Structure 1
């Protein structure tokens, strides 16, 4: 893989076009899921428009694959040039107060480049919460890619333990908060892209327990191989949150919808985001 990663990005994008043809037209990778997700998320669009979005998504997805492989050889300087943090001061003012900040991001743009570029852009340490892969080879490979610029990784199951152990440390903890939470996760249910969806509520639990500010991390693709990150405050880390209330998560959902609508092609439509259904309450006799 290192030999592939050593190729110039201009060459790798040619490889990505081959991936695109394979995924979109030969293998038709999760094609039904992609089209169904797009149809339900954009009911106002025609079938022709949905088909065009699906094709454009597969091309973007293929380019993200080779961009992720390229992380093995990208220097911190080049990564900083390709991923621009437009307003890092949103995080830096929290760091100046010695705060731990929760950064809520999503599978939009190139989420792998955002974590690694954050490590070269920001003055404080950057940790990403992630779900380890079951395949040992790919787990070790992705771990090296994600940490080579100085970012750290926290297995999802160890998040609370890590925050207790490192309480008060100045850093940002990045969470990909758009993943599907099942009924067993006690999710917050809301409308997301015209559909009911369950979201993890770890943002509220961790922010209130550790008095952490929360920031939304929006990833925009500017052009091929170039992205910008825009940060927005969601929670100041001190305002009381009433029990059974999820203002942070709801604000995250609203911000994420805006990000997706600005560039639908750049979201991860292969993910079965709406596979879980809200439990139906039993009818009282």
Structure 2
């Protein structure tokens, strides 16, 4: 008899009763994106007008970040965010079936030479991203743009079904998915191979994380400092990963050089030049396209 976590029918590490959901999602993923965007409109309507999913968090974040905006502008930006978010949901699902050719067409890297120049020196590159645009497409696009050299750090999910699904989506084109606690071990193992490791570094860092505090979107904001520490320890190059939606289903990724491990090593004690430079780049992108950021998470829940 199959037990939880070891279904007899599929051999996958989740309970057997998730199997119909697996095939349902896989079937939906094979639909054209044009059809999936119809579903996205329904999701948008439910989130923004029926369920009003985390509407209070979204509007509070927007008001505090853009105090110059009127209530009507905050309302419009919030609704635009929900539409973008709904489209990202179906785009993430599409990763289960999208072809490499279509992925390349929809994810364009404007200056990949900033990455490949470091690879030519067999140098590790920390790619610092955020929850802008479609953050789940970046790793797959990088796996195709830089074959055999892309990896991303993620926090494993407790639900085995969704953990299995998301690992499949993230690694389908050959990228490595690195559990958060294995980050240093992975970097040490590949330090002389010329690879890039992607970190989403815009989460809210708590007191136990030794955060760096800075003014960000008119608010006192905490950031993780792991990028500075890893870059110094392993002499990493560091790139900011900027992504923007140019039109529905099409994104551009642009790299920006940030201070590397050598520069951070020489910085005064208590300063974090990599994290500060990342914050300034992200702030600029969020001001330019606020609807493309993930406003539903409580980014400013910690206080100094």
TM-score range, shorter chain: over 0.9
Contact 2:132-2:243 within 8 A present in 1 as well: yes
In terms of mean alpha carbon deviation, does 240-249 or 7-16 score higher? 240-249
Conserved? CA contact 2:123–2:191, under 8 Å? no
Q: Report what 1:21 is aligned to.
A: 45
Matched pairs, number: 278
Asked if 2 retains the 8 angstrom alpha-carbon contact of 1:101 and 1:215, the reply is yes
Unaligned runs of 5+ in 1: 279-285
Show the counterpart of 1:264: 290
- How far apart, CA to CA, are the structure 1 residues paired with 2:267 and 2:120? 24
Counterpart-to-counterpart distance in 2, 1:166 and 1:64: 31
Q: CA deviation at 1:169?
A: 2.3
Matches within 5 A, 1:1-285: 1-123=25-147, 125-239=149-263, 240-278=266-304
Distance 1:183 1:234 in 2: 25
Determine if contact 2:231/2:260 at 8 Å carries over to the other structure.
no
Unpaired runs of 5+ residues, structure 2, are 1-24
Distance 2:72 2:145 in 1: 41
1:162 CA drift (Å): 1.9
- CA positional deviation for 1:134: 1.2
CA deviation string 1:81-130 (max 9, x = no partner): 10100000010100010111000000000000011100001255101011
Contact 2:112 2:255 in 1 (8 A): yes
Would you say the 8 A contact 2:233–2:261 is kept in 1?
Answer: no
Q: Secondary structure at the match of 2:140?
A: helix
RMSD between aligned residues: 0.9
* TM-score (ref. length: structure 2): 0.90
**CA shift digits 1:214-242 (9 cap, x unpaired):** 00000011000000000000023323233
